Amino acid sequence: MSELPAIEGGKPTRSSPLRFRPWITDEDINLVAEVLRSGQLSAIGGRWNTLLEQELSKYLGTKHAVTVSNGTTALHVALKAVGVGPGDEVITTPFTFAASATTILHANAIPIFADIDRETLNIDPASIEGAITDRTKAIIVVHLAGYPAEMDEIMKIANERGGLYVIEDTAQALGGAIYRGGGWLVR
């Protein structure tokens, strides 16, 4: 290595700090204000929740969309929905937000970490194969920073191993990417 990283005294590659902001438009702000002004903040007696679920399922091309309070709850609900419980193993990635693994514990199951791919930083399908045991019930795949994981390979492994459940954690990727030129919208 001829050059040191900036943190060790090398030449910095940029002068300004990285600044990422969520992309929020005036239309988004106005719509949120409209919902708040309506006073209808729950699905009971309010129309906004149902409207969001309908629009989401249309956008994602799914039969159903169910909204919950946040990403952590969504993962917990998904694990419970597929029957994950005490003694079950759920394979996931170690390189993610904590909730991808803590929700497995919350379901009284055991998180098993597969390795990640050094190019995509997403879970490595080959490593998933090596982590499967008789107790494996599901796989939580994370599309990190909007970058799609290798879903074709992962679904193939899950199907070949007796129909393991695959839960996609899209907290960082809802609508964020098209997989292999359009076949699979990350959802």
- Which positions touch ligand PLP (CB under 6 A)? 70-72, 96-97, 99-100, 142, 169, 171-172
Smaller CB separation from ligand PLP, 112 or 123 = 123
DSSP 52: H
Number of H helices, E strands in the chain: 6, 6
Largest CA distance in the chain: 65
Smaller CB separation from ligand PLP, 93 or 136 = 93
Cα radius of gyration rounded to whole Å, the chain: 20
Least Å distance, CB 92 to ligand PLP, is 10
Smaller CB separation from ligand PLP, 96 or 136 = 96
Least Å distance, CB 18 to ligand PLP, is 18
Residue bearing tokens 């129309």: 47
Least Å distance, CB 8 to ligand PLP, is 30
Do residues 89 and 133 make contact, with C-beta atoms less than 8 angstroms apart? yes
Least Å distance, CB 187 to ligand PLP, is 14
Do residues 107 and 84 make contact, with C-beta atoms less than 8 angstroms apart? yes
Least Å distance, CB 24 to ligand PLP, is 16
Residue bearing tokens 């170690």: 94
What's the CA gap between 71 and 170, in Å, rounded? 8
Residues in the chain, total? 187
